[in-house]
């Protein structure tokens, strides 16, 4: 199972690499404005946010739903070929892809945590980072047209769907135990936690959707920008490999520290957008602001709530979904109106995330 999970993460995050590094630039070169790009990339996260609430109203997160999500993922990747020339077409293609991605990953995350545990999770998940950086380094050499990126997207989506289907079909983790079915997730009671986690992803809206455009607009070459992406992922891989000892500690404290460090990271990008030394330094912080934060967050929620799969679905939906939606939308308008202040605003939002997580930790139990 570990091998299959490693392969899944490799292909899944290779898709994400194509999606967040190259598609924004392709849309920009195709004549879309920053605000239009923000709206297009906000659609997928919005779908992520809405979907978990359907699972609290009767929709079952079972293998049948999982297979439908795989279909959405694959056929949406095909539809991109016919959508690039029209805002509404590409918007709906993005929504379809968002539906698939938002169901598939949380489903697999539960399988990972239940079969290999949080200590070994990082060593399996790091293959996703390898896939992300490899597709970035390869595609930048062959990106002669939008069709090239879309070809990569289609092939990687097909491979991801195939491996995910095999995992889902052959694991006992696809059938949740009866005692875990009851929904014990109280978003209102734990609002400080969920606001903190969500604001962290809002701050990433500037980075995920506009880092490539931001740096190239400041005169940094596309090749160098891809090296920056790759360097950050390299730091992420090292952290994923060695993070087990950190995850045995206070998970809430880890979340507070990583969000605070992320605030510093965005502030460095605001102050030194052209200083390569500082840019590479800021990218090393990706080890904390993504790798350690993500692992600590899903591990904390996995142990905090009894309904494991719904907890991961909400994490994907509310934080990456709502947070990604708001982040993409706000970043698009900020970059169009006040481009120099994009990462200053992101820094402030990440600082707020750290504050909310600190307030939550004062009155809630600590999980190790």
Contact indicator for 314, 220 with CB cutoff of 8 Å: no
pLDDT band at 288 (very low <50, low <70, confident <90, very high): very high
Specify if 127 maps to a domain. yes
Least reliable range by pLDDT among 9-23, 171-185, 250-264, 350-364: 171-185
Tens digits of residue pLDDT in 216-228: 999 998 889 888 9
Predicted confidence band of residue 182 (pLDDT cuts 50, 70, 90): low
Which pTM does this prediction carry?
0.76
| pLDDT above 70 coverage of the chain, percent | 93
pLDDT at 308: 75
The yes-or-no verdict on residue 99 having pLDDT over 90 is: no
Instruction: Please name which of 300, 285, 301 lies closest in space to residue 239, comparing C-alpha atoms.
Output: 285
The SS3 of residue 181 is coil
Does residue 109 belong to any structural domain of this protein?
Answer: yes
Residue 284 covered by a domain = yes
> In sequence order, what DSSP letters do the residues of 55-99 get, joined into one string?
HTTT---SHHHHHHHHHHHHHHHHHGGGTTT-HHHHHHHHHHHHH
Provide the pLDDT confidence category of residue 344 given band limits of 50, 70 and 90.
very high
pLDDT of residue 174: 44
Describe the crossing of helices 222-242 and 191-217 by its angle, rounded to 10 degrees: 150
Highest mean pLDDT among 130-144, 152-166, 299-313: 152-166
Total domain count, the chain: 1
What is residue 58's predicted lDDT score, i.e. its pLDDT?
A: 62
Token reading at 272: 């030194």
Residue 366 lies in a domain: no
Mean pLDDT in the chain? 85
In this structure, how many other beta carbons lie within 10 angstroms of the beta carbon of residue 262? 27
User: Which residue would you say has higher pLDDT here, 349 or 190?
Assistant: 349
Token digits of residue 154: 């289609």
Residue closest to 100 by CA, chosen among 62, 68, 128, 125: 68
Q: Is residue 367 part of a domain?
A: no
Scored b (16 or more CB within 10 A) or e, 97-115 reads bbbbbbbbbbbbbbbbbbb
296 confidence band (pLDDT: 50, 70, 90) = very high
Instruction: Give the residue with greater pLDDT, 364 vs 76.
Output: 76
Residue with the larger pLDDT of the pair 105 and 22: 105
pLDDT at 175: 52
pLDDT over 70 at 368, yes or no = no
Residue 305's Cα: distance from chain center in Å?
A: 21
CATH number assigned to the domain comprising residue 347: 1.20.1250.20
Q: Is 316 part of a structural domain of the chain?
A: yes
CA 12, distance to chain mean position in Å, is: 11
Q: How far apart are CA 172 and CA 167, in angstroms?
A: 10
State residue 178's pLDDT score. Answer: 45
What is d(CA 50, CA 228) in angstroms, rounded to the nearest whole number?
Answer: 33
**pLDDT one-digit tens code per residue, 125-146:** 889 888 888 887 777 677 667 7
pLDDT greater than 50 at residue 173: no
CA distance 76 to 50: 18
Quick check: is 307 in a domain? yes
368 falls within a domain: no
Q: What is the pLDDT of residue 262?
A: 97
Residue range of the domain that includes 197? 2-361
Residue 94, judged by CB atoms within 10 A of its CB (0-12, 13-18, 19+), counts as buried
- pLDDT for res 84: 83
């Amino acid at each position: 199972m570990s091998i299959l999970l490693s392969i899944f993460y490799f292909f899944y995050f290779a898709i994400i690499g194509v999606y967040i590094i190259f598609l924004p630039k392709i849309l920009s070169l195709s004549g879309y404005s920053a605000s239009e790009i923000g709206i297009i990339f906000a659609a997928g996260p919005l779908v992520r946010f809405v979907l978990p609430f359907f699972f609290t109203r009767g929709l079952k997160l079972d293998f049948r739903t999982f297979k439908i999500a795989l279909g959405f993922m694959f056929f949406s990747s095909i539809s991109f070929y016919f959508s690039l020339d029209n805002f509404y077409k590409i918007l709906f293609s993005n929504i379809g892809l968002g539906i698939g991605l938002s169901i598939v990953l949380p489903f697999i995350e539960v399988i990972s945590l239940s079969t290999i545990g949080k200590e070994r999770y990082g060593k399996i998940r790091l293959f996703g980072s390898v896939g992300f950086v490899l597709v970035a380094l390869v595609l930048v050499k062959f990106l002669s047209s939008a069709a090239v990126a879309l070809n990569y997207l289609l092939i990687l989506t097909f491979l991801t769907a195939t491996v995910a289907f095999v995992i889902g079909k052959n694991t006992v983790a696809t059938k949740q135990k009866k005692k875990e079915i009851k929904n014990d997730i109280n978003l209102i009671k734990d609002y400080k936690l969920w606001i903190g986690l969500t604001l962290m992803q809002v701050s990433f809206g500037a980075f995920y959707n506009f880092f490539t455009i931001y740096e190239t607009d400041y005169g940094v070459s596309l090749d160098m920008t891809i090296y920056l992406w790759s360097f950050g992922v390299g730091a992420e891989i090292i952290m994923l490999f060695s993070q087990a000892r950190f995850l045995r500690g206070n998970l809430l404290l880890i979340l507070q520290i990583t969000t605070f460090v992320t605030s510093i990271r965005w502030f460095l990008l605001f102050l030194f957008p052209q200083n390569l030394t500082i840019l590479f330094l800021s990218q090393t912080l990706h080890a904390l602001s993504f790798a350690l934060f993500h692992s600590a967050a899903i591990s904390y929620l996995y142990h905090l709530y009894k309904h494991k799969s719904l907890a991961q679905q909400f994490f994907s939906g509310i934080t990456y979904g709502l947070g990604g939606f708001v982040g993409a939308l706000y970043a698009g308008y900020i970059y169009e109106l006040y481009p120099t202040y994009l990462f200053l605003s992101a820094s402030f939002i990440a600082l707020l995330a750290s504050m909310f997580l600190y307030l939550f930790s004062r009155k809630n139990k600590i999980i190790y």
